[in-house]
Amino acid sequence: MPEIKFCFQGWVRGAEIKNVTDAEGELVDVSTMSPETLVQKLNNGELFISLADHLKDNIEEEIEIFDFETD
């Protein structure tokens, strides 16, 4: 199976975030957190989300894949 690398960028709109990962790798329930607080913690690197999980769970995806290269 060929292995390649590529760049991507885009937006996932309306992502319903229920769980995230903290800096220790633990799953954190954020279902009651305000969007503003969650965004602040994500931007500060306190919490992390899985891009793959949210791409498959959301239908309003706008992702561009470009710059293909061999590994």
Q: What is the pLDDT of residues 8-43, one digit of tens each?
A: 887 777 788 889 999 999 999 999 999 999 999 999
With a cut of 80, say whether residue 56 has pLDDT above it.
no
Task: Find the distance separating the first CA and the last CA of the chain, reported in whole Å.
Answer: 12
Provide the residue ranges of all domains of the chain, joining segments of one domain with +. Answer: 4-70
For 24, residues 6+ apart whose C-beta sits below 8 A from its C-beta are none
55 and 10 Cβ atoms separated by less than 8 Å: no
Res 68: pLDDT: 84
49 and 57 Cβ atoms separated by less than 8 Å: no
With a cut of 70, say whether residue 60 has pLDDT above it.
no
Res 29: pLDDT: 96
Taking alpha carbons only, the member of 34, 31, 30, 12 closest to residue 21 is 30
Chain-centroid distance of CA 14 in Å reads 12
With a cut of 70, say whether residue 57 has pLDDT above it.
no
